[in-house]
Chains A and B, each alone.
Chain A
Amino acid sequence: MENQEYRIEMQDIKKAFSGVYALNGAQLRVKPGEIHALIGENGAGKSTLMKVLAGALQRDGGIVKIEGQEVHFSTPKEGKLAGIATIYQEFMLAPELTVTENIFIDRLNQEGKIIKWKRLTKEAERLLSEMGFDEINPGTKVSNLSVAYQQVVEICKSISRNAKVLILDEPTAVLTVKEIQKLFTLLKKLKADGVSIIYISHRLEEIFELCDTITVMKDGAFVDCIPAGSIDKDGLIRKMVGRELNQMFPKRNAEIGDTILEVEHLTGSELVQDISFSVKAGQVLGFYGLVGAGRTETMRAIFGADKWESGNIRFLGKSVHFKSPKQAVRAKLGMLPEDRKRQGVLLEQSIKMNTSITAMEKAQKSGIFNSKKETDFVKGLLAKINTKYTSIENPASSLSGGNQQKVALAKWLAADCKCIIFDEPTRGVDVGAKTEIYHCINQLAKAGLAIIMISSEMPELMGMCDDIIVMHQGRIRGTLSRDEFSEDNIIFAAMGGEK
């Protein structure tokens, strides 16, 4: 009997990616007509759990029941047919088609060979006005709508397919305050109609305003399920964190030297607002923030990959404003980008080429590549950071993720950089390789480089950094020194809490 109370029941869900558990003992129960928040820090497994529910991923273990019936979806389509709809951050709309076309895109000629435009347009109009969005004209091209309205169209599309469960992943990240209120009104209306809504967000205020129940996840596992009224923000944050630091972080005794990079009131895009910090030789400075907090954007601006408007940057004692990465590299600032495969390495090119690309003149004699000189140069750099490879002529793709990252790093050593920014250096590498990369970073710090390390893993930052800066929505919300490190303090600042 009790089972029937829930529309969705996920019990003890397991899911592993190449041997590493992303989900291990996850649980979620959602009632009809309920807005259910799913929270947890980055990498807690929220998105993975939702993909399992929607059929985009297949679980390795556990039970998923919908309306009391156990289900096994092997494709997202099966999930859709069972009434589960996901609204992703990047909308799955065709921008050049009209609202009507988008809503009915998979059912345009359901009633015969010829599309009955009049009827479909009327139907779209009815759906939109039912949701309280009369102002959207079904004949408008989606690309002409604001992001908020596009979201409404996306929701409309799902509802028109009789979705019973709506999954929203950070829906308010792209909306203004006013638009957020409209979205909430819509969601509350859908709730009254009996739709179950699973709401993933980092913004706790929103969750308290909107949601009935909160499920907290940590490290791929279920922590607690609480009615929203019976807990406050601090209590919630405490549930999200609390993990033991493991022993994988090597000790470092680097001498702290002169200030290398000094940033004052840097302001650029919306995600780079009034950023001030400095990093010294031998220091490792961490940057924490939840997804979309503006860490990468800040670093790209400093590095000259993005523009910035006001503020001051001093690098090696000189005031600088890099207009392109080229200028930054010339000044001896390097950056290891967050997406290794897309931005960091040339996968199909040789390890040799990947390493010497920033300092080709050091592999040449009078402008012509010299095989011996280049080989010595490259091998020397790779040896410095213990890179494992069979031949430097092999493509970078032949290496493991950790060693690829080292090759990407070696090119900054080639360019003789004085400060290196690591953006998520251990993403997608296995545990052993992580420790190796930590060793590399320590070694560089010891050699007198200034290191900036962006990471979404709190333990990693706490184990590696001298100081941690926490960002939230484009601003610095806290600068923590070693004795203030705790997951509570970090997550509190990352959630936008004032101190």
Chain B
Amino acid sequence: MAQEKSKSNFSVKNFILKNNTYLILLVLFIVCSVVSRDFLTLSNLVNICQQYASTVIVSIGMLFVILTGGIDLSVGSIVAIGSVLSAYSLNSWGWGVVPACLISLLVGTACGTFTGFLVARTDMAPFVASLAMMTMARGIAYMISNGSPIMTPVNSISVLGTAKIFSWLTWLAVIAVIIVVAAWFVTNYLSFGRITIAIGSNEEAVHLAGINTMPIKMATYAISGFCSAIGGIIACSRTGIGSPAVGNGLELDCIAACVIGGASLSGGVGSPVKTVVGVLVLALIGNIMNLLAVPSYPQDVIKGIIIIFAVLLQRVTNKTTN
């Protein structure tokens, strides 16, 4: 009898430990609903989705890099390129929305590929390679825009930023969901995803198992650049303005989201769905503090504290499950 009891206790504990990321989100959601009457309204929830769609997408790109044990600091700057370049090609070249988006995606992916080349081919530390790309990409964004924001023509890209399928479902949210599902599929069902995780776990062993790790590593940075460019297009579509300053500091939010979602910065561990949860945790914290009219500087402090808390909690749970 006693044994049975301890067994059932153990499984409840296990359930909590295993799903702690989701539980943190759930608790946060309940707390938000209680402390502010404005939180649990359709317009606020839709607003959160709109606001964080690009963060979700960029974080997914970041996750691929983090899975290999790398890091990509350039995502925020590539978002700026995506934003500015799509606005510029619409405005100055008079391109249509589709080619404007395509050129942004192409350039964003190229930037990521270059970082990946430095990391995979020249063995440069990911931190350094992506730091260089971060500076360069930001500079390019300012060069394209000549330092000032670029207006886009009315009824072009900004339509995307506000378009809805139902009153509760926007196109931006749909795009984000598509990307997340795609990432989930890649990490779970394709060799590419498998090898990405394996590299982060033990690159030497993967190499000695007869797998060429270089193209895979390079590809993860390309994916990160691609996702960042989507993020930039979305940023542009929401305001109708291409801004070279957009995405400043976004890389840190994305890294935080991955980590809150249980990803390990040494690689090999992480999931797309949990990364979305990580973004949502950050989103809820930001949203509730805005609703409660907490000034912006204390907001940052509280955000930092909650990140520390979330990650410490994971440490504890990981130790107990092992």
Contact = CB atoms under 8 A, between A and B. Distances in A.
A353 B268 CA distance: 12
B202 A345 contact: yes
Contacts of B212: 324, 326
Contact of B198 (A337, A344, A357, A368): A357
B201 A348 contact: yes
Interface stretch (B87-95, B97-105, B109-117, B184-192): B184-192
A47 to B, nearest CB: 25
Interface in A339-375: 342-349, 353, 357-358, 360-361, 364, 367-369
B211 A349 contact: no
B208 A335 contact: yes
Interface string A235-246: 000000000000
Interface in B189-209: 189-191, 194-195, 197-198, 201-202, 204-209
Interface in A362-404: 364, 367-369
B269 interface: yes
A13 interface: no
B209 A358 contact: yes
A305 interface: yes
Interface residues of B, number: 21
B210 interface: yes
B210 A358 contact: yes
A359 to B, nearest CB: 10
Contact of B208 (A305, A353, A360, A361): A305
Contacts of B202: 342-343, 345-347
Nearest to B268: A348
A364 to B, nearest CB: 7
A342 B211 contact: no
Interface string A86-123: 00000000000000000000000000000000000000
Most chain A CB within a 10 A radius of its CB, from B201, B204, B207: B201
A354 B268 CA distance: 13
Contacts of A344: 205, 208
Interface in A277-335: 303, 305, 324-330, 335
B201 A343 contact: no
Given A349-B197, A369-B194, A328 B210 contact: yes
Interface residues of A, number: 30
A343 B208 CA distance: 7
A187 interface: no
B117 to A, nearest CB: 18
B194 A357 contact: yes
A305 B211 CA distance: 11
Contacts of A324: 210, 212
A341 to B, nearest CB: 9
A411 interface: yes
A353 B209 contact: no
Contacts of A343: 202, 204-205, 208
A207 to B, nearest CB: 36
A362 B190 CA distance: 12
A361 B209 CA distance: 15
B210 A330 contact: yes
B189 A368 contact: yes
Given A344-B205, A345-B205, A346-B268, A325 B210 contact: yes
Contacts of A367: 190-191
A494 interface: no
Nearest to A334: B210
A448 to B, nearest CB: 21
Contacts of A369: 188-191, 194
A100 to B, nearest CB: 31
Given A325-B210, A368-B189, A369-B188, A346 B194 contact: no
Interface in B164-200: 188-191, 194-195, 197-198
Nearest to B191: A360
Given A343-B204, A346-B201, A357 B209 contact: yes
Contacts of A360: 191, 194
A415 interface: yes
B209 A325 contact: yes
A337 B210 CA distance: 12
A325 B211 CA distance: 7
A495 B293 CA distance: 79
Nearest to B199: A346
Interface string B266-289: 001100000000000000000000
Given A346-B268, A368-B189, A325 B208 contact: yes
Contacts of B209: 325, 329, 357-358, 411
9 contacts: A305-B208, A325-B211, A345-B205, A346-B202, A348-B268, A349-B198, A360-B194, A369-B188, A369-B191
Interface of B: 188-191, 194-195, 197-198, 201-202, 204-212, 268-269
4 tightest A-B CB contacts, nearest first: A329-B210, A346-B201, A360-B191, A325-B210
Given A330-B210, A349-B198, 19 more contacts: A325-B211, A326-B210, A328-B210, A335-B208, A337-B205, A342-B204, A342-B205, A343-B202, A343-B205, A346-B201, A347-B202, A357-B198, A357-B206, A357-B209, A358-B209, A358-B211, A360-B194, A364-B191, A367-B191
